[in-house]
A = this chain, B = another copy of it.
Amino acid sequence: MSEVKKVRLGVLKLGAIGTAVILEYLMDERADRKDLITRVVTSGAKMDPEQAEEVAPKLLEFNPDVVVIASPNAALPGPSKAREIVAQCKVPTIVITDAPGAKAEEDCQAKGMTLIVVAGDSMIGAKREFLDPAEMALFNASVLTVLAATGAFNIVFKELDSALEAAKTSGTYTPSVIKIKARKAVAAGNFTNPYARAKADAAYRIAEGVAAVTVEGCFKMKEAEKYIPTVAAGHEMMQEAAKLALEARELEKGGDSLVRMPHYKQGEIMKKTKLLEAPEVAK
């Protein structure tokens, strides 16, 4: 029997967005894909050009077949520098960013890179009086909950899978611009119950709305007595969005209609609905 062809996924993370936190695991959620080798290099919370210059080449040393670059605001110098470096290796590249990163669209298109803008992945309330490690982790947990339960992550992992599949089969991967707004997210969320979908849609929109609040708190207010309550309000919104997204999921549980889409051994995306049934490779 012939050896299985393995594809190498390289993930570069600069700074923190919710999507990035869990990204590499989205592609191989049970660590049982035979077709995939994943390598991730990140610079932690920082994302200036110097970081990019050090970590991006290191990722390329892993010889990835597909590269993902995840960062807040992809239009900033750091992520831009990362794209510049990665562009040299001429592999299919997917840039994942938050709403402000939409400004990198032109550059991504010029470089033939896919751009995924996760609108619900709103900025954190990064003020010292408010944000400590615990608050940071909890905000990200809420973001993960919203993005996972609404369907946004489904769009992300499917796009990456299509690039990986192209790499495996020497097929063509066509870069595109994917803006994940509420309606697109829930359309990918496989909801059976329309009220669950409406709740997920509402949750995503609340999550999207957080950015305006945290940006106001972080960049437009000077006095602590103004920005602390403001970023706190932003986090309360995200926590509420997470609750509502889970409520949507619980509604589907109530009808035993929660769709699951696990990966199969060679990276095929399977699908199933009833909890006790077996998944099948989606056609």
Interface residues of A (CB under 8 A from B): 9, 11, 13, 15-16, 21-22, 24-32, 36-47, 54-55, 58, 61-62, 126-138, 140-142, 144-145, 147-149, 151, 153-154, 157, 182-183, 186, 193-195, 197-199, 201-202, 205-206, 209, 213, 224-226, 228-230, 232-237, 239-240, 242-244, 246, 249, 251, 253-256, 258, 260-264, 270, 272, 274-279
Contacts and interface: CB of A to CB of B under 8 A. Distances in A.
B15 A31 contact: yes
B39 A44 contact: yes
11 contacts: A30-B131, A36-B44, A37-B44, A39-B55, A41-B58, A134-B154, A138-B149, A141-B148, A194-B232, A194-B274, A228-B275
Contact of A251 (B127, B134, B157, B253): B253
A149 B134 contact: yes
A72 to B, nearest CB: 9
Contacts of A153: 133-134, 137
Given A133-B153, A236-B199, A240-B244, A225 B39 contact: no
Given A28-B46, A183-B226, A194-B228, 6 more contacts: A40-B42, A133-B263, A186-B229, A194-B274, A195-B232, A224-B278
Contacts of A193: 253-254, 256
A16 to B, nearest CB: 5
A201 B226 CA distance: 12
B136 A276 contact: no
Contact of A129 (B206, B224, B239, B272): B272
B21 A22 contact: yes
Contacts of A142: 141
Contacts of A135: 29, 148, 260
Q: Which of A31, A130, A234, A279 has the most CB of B within 10 A?
A: A31
A13 B38 CA distance: 12
A258 B198 CA distance: 14
B147 A133 contact: no
Contacts of A249: 138
A39 B50 CA distance: 12
A190 B4 CA distance: 46
A236 B133 contact: no
A208 to B, nearest CB: 9
B132 A261 contact: yes
Contact of A44 (B25, B145, B197, B278): B25
A61 B102 CA distance: 34
Contacts of A234: 202
Contacts of A237: 202, 205-206
A45 B230 CA distance: 36
